[in-house]
Structure 1
């Protein structure tokens, strides 16, 4: 059991009703290398607070080099780094731009040092499991342990004896904002806030994250600090020029850039001091109330146990049997990663920051934030709809709340701020897909109003869909028409998918006129099809093709005209709502299958990129070629997903790459949002049991079985659904959620 302390192990044995089986398969270090952007810190499912080691502030041996900017690190922790400067309390998992990673605590010993480059240390003896992280700070011989509740974090430091300090650094972090305020309330309490904002260096609003920190032992000395500006050599006040100046016994508010506080102790050998920090995005008072309600005392062991139990309850919604220990580890770690974001943002009293304003709203339920929708609409939300529909319902209601408050659905929302990152109209397919799957406890009239507004020109401009007028007029967005529009082909394809989802929702709501209109608009991708290359190719305003044109240019996230984070090959089949149409355009079944195989054979497929993430499942559209899906999916799993820090192919994108793995290992995949069928492939496990929420679905369980003729069997020989032969390679959401028993009989070769 990874990282399980003796205390927790005894608690688990004493509580047989809570068998901690599934959390044992979670390895939080997976994804902490290879730009996976995950972290090993303590967090609850959808938790607002998280406590994670922060090791990306300085490059050891290279002086004051802030890695966030020099290497575009978008997470608080990188596994191959080994220079710790604290434990941050607000963090993101699997994002592509720096943000949060703030409110850092750091224990030290010896003379007081306030410069993080100097007080930072190497560390060892790392342990992590859901809700708990621990390490040993080598320079100070301190054992550090952290855990979290939904809105607070707790740390426990075991000191070697002698002079000891606990530092609170508000200047260090991932956010592009350095401003903060703090006030030492007493010798056991600090309050304040830290500014966050400008995600991906976009000029959206800034927002404070408020905190209250309480210490289990009164400090013998305390104070605040700030980093002084660099003064000239001729100045007389050079003692603190460019250095960190302490203000002992300072009890007034201190505000500015690069500020912090310190608490000093005369510690005994083996003495532990605990620190708990409550956070809020509304006020200091709410942060204090969050802390009071969720952690009234100081008990890290109990907090960690409750956190682990919370994860166990979520993870056991999907139970697997069979498979190797490694396969179960990558599966449950992936499921764990899909349940971190979106996360709650409301306080215990229901307060939350309104979308796009500095006002405060209040909710009786959960209000969520961190909607990386360009990524997650493809598979994460369908996964939540299947296994956690009550959560998906809350997410849609949160999105509609954002619409009511700001006038627009979110695109890439972060802490009540629209970052405007990425392209398209990704909220629309999420809402349509959710409703069509049978999750309908939200205001569908408001939802339809919102998605139709995003799809039509507006007097003051369409905030979500730049270039919409030309998209409607010409059936494509021409190059060199709109300043600031990123990737005309990619953007148009995203609009197509959104329009198709509007059409499907309109059909379900008996809005026939809208169904016909948006169905037609959804097929305008055909205007980009270039017969001479077989590619979707950028076009100019006069209808001519962009020249020169290299279909392979733009791989590996290099900028290229017409496309977003990909090249023409990676967008070649990116019309999941009309695969039969693209098959016809490229010449029929066999030419399509050959072209799709070529995409893989010539290394044009990018496992870490969302636009082509569904490509392995497209072979299912060609009769007789379905075995290629089974072969390719298993090959990709084995190549890119491992029980190691680099075990995610790239940026997890708030759980999107993990969701791909969860579905793929179960043998079903939602190949197109709004399409109520899953593509089938061979399951990895002998048995998968999904416990369905009967509030939303008729069935109690969905069972997926794999019967293998040999240990290396991975090709589908036959399928049986509820005791009857099943010969299709797509299965409907309704068939599965009615309580299906789907059996795959597998063989070792595809002939």
Structure 2
């Protein structure tokens, strides 16, 4: 029925219709296995729609390698479960509500029942297939709250449902998941229900429950329940229900060698899980209809939003649409499934993490999925209403972990200045932001950073308010200070829009506090002035700008170097240019990020650095060169990303390169790069379109901007604003060539926090 992803010959034929907006199945260009190896950690399984709660796929064990999304290209499958993350690091999360097919009698369901694969797994959008070495074939499809398993056995089918099943972590960091107990019950009609209780994981969450309801398309020949600890059975018989802190589950056998199993889940109750199942996958629902529905959802909601010309190569089409899939797998829309409180507001979970996504993912999320984006913003605010703080990260209905700043502030500011209104209560939104800016969260005593909260908010806020900088009393002091400055700039933006004059002044001044970490005497490679640690007495700590120590939770800089963080006050670039010594030194400093091999394309803190050349007249071409160089690190293959997907952040980066713009989060500014395609149309909703064209050059060898018209008028700025091309749509017509041209002679991009610099 289906085959693994291949580069199909029909791409060239169908591409001719793209710019005409014909009813094209864009899913044919998608490799669901993009970035599933090489550290990308993408989830390749069945996902029925963007942000669907159910993500149905295999769980693989291979030695002590963490399977962050459940999938590994080698190793044994030990179950197929309904909940996964995609593109995350830290430690695996979920892998719950699982089934495992077994041939013949199952003497001990607590034993290792894992199987190798007879051939490589196969998949398309909305479909997944595994062929096990036992001869069993498993095909998967899904809806938003339920999954459908289709099994083909060579003989003697058995299905094991193990409530204790989770994805394991072997990193030894204390972030592994724990199973606390559960219930499993089967009924005379052959269906089963229950729940599992789990805790911990990367966000150190307390106990949470997931409920399930399963039905087979034929009545089992035998049904048993089991209970035990480790691999030791305490009971294994025809008792209809088992509960407790031990491992529990059920084993079913069948006469027919072909069978299907449909399972619904809910965070509220097993009866709600049954309702979800019966509403979304009714009895006799065809497997193919679920696959078709998934493709239709992805096509209409995401893939069709970007259409490119017939000149696009098969390779570029595959990268474009595979990256769009990876960008919209999480967060998870759990509206109506929130166990924490009753609310009429939308609810989104599995936010991994705004620290990763606020630079380029959320700005593109707003453009391509504006309805869902407004819901997402409302959800962040509603979490504040009921949990006390907005999340920087969140899963299993629990905030955590905060890596740097309170970056929900930057996300809300970005939405506000770009006109997101609808049903958003911006008075509450600003109050939520002020909670981050003014209220110190309780310390959750994280062993990796015990100095202050990593659950939510700004743990280092006491220093920030007292000194205007962060002392080494707090871990990640310098990187947090740079991010707190950007977050406070976000509060300034929203306060200004709401007419709050006192708060506008307060947060504009606080957004400049990153300057208090600037040591003009710190030097490296013919450059002076870097952000460094600072003591309570005002003295600077000696710091090699090329070193970030361990670059992790207990260090002054998190996941990147002083060189990178010294360039990250993107709201205050004019001041930054003065501090580093003017335009020439500023350009050379960006050059050095590459010349000294400091820049890491797979690491989010440096995402914006390559395009800061646009703040110097005559240097926009260097941003284009960096853009093209970075793009060489991407492809649609299994190792197609330069680092962890980070919940789609990495994919959003390459998508902006294709568009030829770069967003400055919290501002209405987009830095101009160079588009890939001779024509691209982005559907902005409500009949609005951004259309870009290129003539005279090509993506690979003649990509320098020679001239540009915006909305039909000659353009001499190396940036555009939201109002120029996104608020009401617009056109950008590029002339490209093989050598640089000094076309951007106009006004420099705004530097709104710099004042007189």
Which residue is 1:716 aligned to? 705
> Which stretch of structure 1 is more off in the superposition, 253-262 or 586-595?
253-262
Give 2:198's match in structure 1, choosing from 196, 199, 205. 196
Aligned position for 1:237: none
Q: Would you say 1:634 and 2:628 are equivalent positions?
A: yes
- Separation (CA, whole Å) in 2 of partners of 1:713 and 1:560: 46
1:557–1:107 Cα change, 3 Å: farther
Q: Secondary structure in 1 aligned to 2:685?
A: coil
Tell me, in whole angstroms, the C-alpha distance in 2 between the residues paired with 1:291 and 1:167. 19
Q: CA deviation at 1:189?
A: 1.4
> Is 1:82–1:123's contact at 8 Å kept on the other side of the alignment?
no
2:130 aligned to 126, 131, 135, which one? 135
Residue of structure 1 in register with 2:585 after alignment: 591
Shift of 1:187: 6.0
Once residues 655 and 264 of structure 2 are traced to their aligned partners in structure 1, the CA distance between those partners, rounded to angstroms, is 33
In the alignment, the residues of structure 2 paired with residue 555 and residue 26 of structure 1 have an alpha-carbon distance, to the nearest angstrom, of 40
Structure 1 position 171, deviation (Å): 2.2
- Alignment TM-score, normalising by the size of structure 1: 0.88
- 1:688 corresponds to which residue? 680
The whole-number CA distance in structure 2 between the counterparts of 1:228 and 1:457 is: 44
CA 1:564/1:705 → structure 2, altered by over 3 Å: closer, same or farther? Answer: same
Unaligned residue ranges in structure 1 (runs of 5+): 6-12, 60-66, 230-241, 355-359
Match for residue 54 of structure 1? 59
2:395 aligned with 1:414: yes
1: CA distance, partners of 2:570 / 2:66: 32
Q: Deviations over 1:516-549 (max 9, x none)?
A: 11111111111111222222111111122223x2
Q: CA deviation at 1:260?
A: 2.6
1:474 aligns with 2:463: no
Q: Deviations over 1:187-245 (max 9, x none)?
A: 6312111223323262x32210111111111111121233435xxxxxxxxxxxx4456
Alignment pair present for 1:445 and 2:427? yes
What is the distance in 2 between the residues matched to 1:382 and 1:578?
Answer: 20
Counterpart-to-counterpart distance in 1, 2:513 and 2:506: 12
Q: CA deviation at 1:91?
A: 0.6
Deviations 1:641-672 (A, max 9, x none): 112111112221111111111111110110x2
C-alpha distance in 1, partners of 2:145/2:499? 43
Distance 2:710 2:111 in 1: 60
Q: Aligned Cα RMSD in Å?
A: 2.4
Q: Distance in 2 between matches of 1:396 and 1:559?
A: 28
Residues 351-371 of structure 1 show CA distances to partners (whole Å, capped at 9, x for unaligned) of 5222xxxxx4243x6421122
Q: Answer yes or no: is 1:208 the counterpart of 2:209.
A: yes
* Structure 2 contact 517–532 (Cα < 8 Å) conserved: yes
Describe the shift of the 1:82–1:18 C-alpha distance in structure 2 as closer, same or farther (beyond 3 A).
farther
Alignment partner for residue 348 of structure 2, among 368, 373, 379?
Answer: 368
Distance 1:415 1:558 in 2: 24
Q: For 2:480, which of 470, 479, 491 is the aligned residue?
A: 491
Among 732, 738, 741, the alignment partner of 1:742 is: 732
Corresponding residue SS for 1:746: strand
CA deviations 1:15-58 (Å, max 9, x no partner) are xx9945311111110111122121110012110011111113x4
**Could you say which residue in structure 1 is the equivalent of 2:290?**
303
Q: Distance in 1 between matches of 2:631 and 2:227?
A: 49
Matching of residue 291 in structure 1 with residue 277 in structure 2: yes
Contact 1:83-1:123 at 8 Å conserved across structures = no
> Please, what TM-score do these two structures have when normalized by structure 2?
0.87
Deviates more, 1:503-512 or 1:41-50: 503-512
CA distance in 1, matches of 2:239, 2:192: 11
Quickly say closer, same or farther: Cα 1:362–1:475, change in 2 above 3 A: closer
Aligned twin of 2:416: 435
State yes or no: 1:317 paired with 2:311.
no
**Aligned position for 2:659:** 666
Alignment pair present for 1:104 and 2:98: yes
Q: Secondary structure at the match of 1:611?
A: helix
The answer to which of 244-253 and 414-423 deviates more is 244-253
SS of alignment partner, residue 329 of structure 2: coil
By how many angstroms is 1:103 displaced? 1.6
Between 1:700-709 and 1:586-595, the stretch displaced more is 700-709
Q: Which residue of 1 aligns with 2:694?
A: 706
Corresponding residue of 1:507: 496
Structure 1's 123 and 523: CA in aligned 2 closer, same or farther, altered over 3 A? farther
| Structure 2 CA distance for aligned equivalents of residues 587 and 500 of structure 1 | 24
Alignment coverage as a number of residue pairs: 692
Match of 1:338 in 2: 327
| Correspondence for 1:238 | none
Does the Cα contact within 8 Å between 2:203 and 2:399 map onto a contact in 1?
no
1:667-696 Cα deviation digits (max 9, x unpaired): 0110x22110111111112211111222xx
1:2 shift after superposition = 7.5
Distance 1:207 1:490, change over 3 A: same
Q: Distance in 2 between matches of 1:258 and 1:55?
A: 20
Q: Which runs of 5+ in 2 are unaligned?
A: 6-13, 15-20, 168-175, 444-452, 524-528, 742-757
Q: Please say if residues 55 and 84 of structure 2, whose CA atoms lie closer than 8 Å, have aligned partners that are also in contact.
A: yes
Q: Tell me the residue number matched to 1:8.
A: none
